[in-house]
Amino acid sequence: MSTAPSPILIYGICETPSILWNAHCLNLQKDNINRQYICLNDEPLTLRIGSKGWIDLKPEQLLQFQSNNELNAYTKEILLSKVNAFSRPIKSALVSYFTWIENECVKFSEGNLSSKTDVLFAKADHLFYSAFLPLPHPKIVISDKNGVFQGVAHFDLGFCISGKIYLLTFSEGQFIRKTERAFREKLFEEGKDKFIYKDLSKPAKNNGFDVEFINQLINTIPSLEHFFRQEKMPHGIYYPEGLNINP
């Protein structure tokens, strides 16, 4: 009897998730993450902005940046480009999250650094890459026991932290289609120890910092506040080919 491969989380704008699922089934990847989806196997996955795989930066591209601030801005632009143009709440959520991260990085860099922190990479613009990677438009593929594609469970924002998959929506009680509700129920029943779901209030409709939304987010995912509490932190988003680096 054939068995279904590990499920995947597709993130960003994707109109044909079945094609990605079929490609995943035909060519199971060794790495957990690429620029379109994440393999949700049994490994305790944690994804940070500086994690390898979700962005592919070439050496010639790196030369165009004059400072770490410019590279950080480019990183944010890549993530924002994965948001549908009509999904304003998701964009607002990302903008608020980035602002909060940058404020926290400044506080940490100006405070008492841990003895385990590499002082060469303890500036705020380096610490930015240690923050957890926000995943816009996360979609979990639902398949049958033989791996045949059935559909996807849609959400607005996601995070992968210590093997837990946090899935957030900003629906505020809006109507959910029957098929979508069924897919979510199946997902949470089969992965009740892996998936954590919460519906949050929509962020403010502006390009500023929505402190109420951030408080909601942190209350739902307290570990977001502790992104810099690790011995080995990523230093950027560029990983030269041939080097075995696993942040």
Task: Express each pLDDT in 43-70 by its tens digit.
Answer: 888 999 988 888 877 777 777 777 778 8
Q: What does the pLDDT read at residue 113?
A: 59
Q: What does the pLDDT read at residue 235?
A: 57
How many CA atoms, within 13 angstroms, populate the side-chain half-sphere of residue 175?
2
Query: What is the identity of the amino acid at 243?
Result: L
Where does the chain show beta strands of DSSP type E?
Answer: 8-10, 37-39, 135-136, 139-143, 149-154, 157-161, 164-169, 195-199
pLDDT at 26 over 60: yes
Tell whether pTM > 0.85.
yes
Name the pLDDT band for 1 (thresholds 50, 70, 90).
very low
Average pLDDT over residues 146-163: 94
Q: How far apart are the first and last CA of the chain?
A: 37
Average pLDDT over residues 167-186: 87
Contact of 112 with 226, CB cutoff 8 Å: no
Report the share of the chain in percent with pLDDT over 90. 47
Determine whether 14 is exposed, middle or buried from the number of CB atoms within 10 Å of its CB (0-12, 13-18, 19+). middle
Which of 39, 126, 138, 11 shows the shortest CA–CA distance to 75?
126
Q: What is the mean pLDDT of the chain?
A: 84
Which structure tokens are listed for 150? Answer: 């059935």
Instruction: Specify the higher pLDDT residue, 207 or 12.
Output: 12
Q: What does the pLDDT read at residue 53?
A: 86
Q: What does the pLDDT read at residue 198?
A: 94
- Which range among 164-168, 202-206, 227-231 has the greatest average pLDDT? 164-168
pLDDT at 141 over 90: yes
Contact of 10 with 20, CB cutoff 8 Å: yes
Q: pLDDT tens-digit profile of 66-92?
A: 777 888 899 999 999 999 999 999 999
- Which range among 37-51, 174-188, 213-227 has the greatest average pLDDT? 213-227
The single residue listed with the structure tokens 């932190």 is 233
Q: Where are the alpha helices (DSSP H) in 9-87?
A: 17-26, 59-62, 68-80
What count of other Cβ atoms lies within 10 Å of the Cβ of residue 187?
22
Contact of 5 with 24, CB cutoff 8 Å: yes
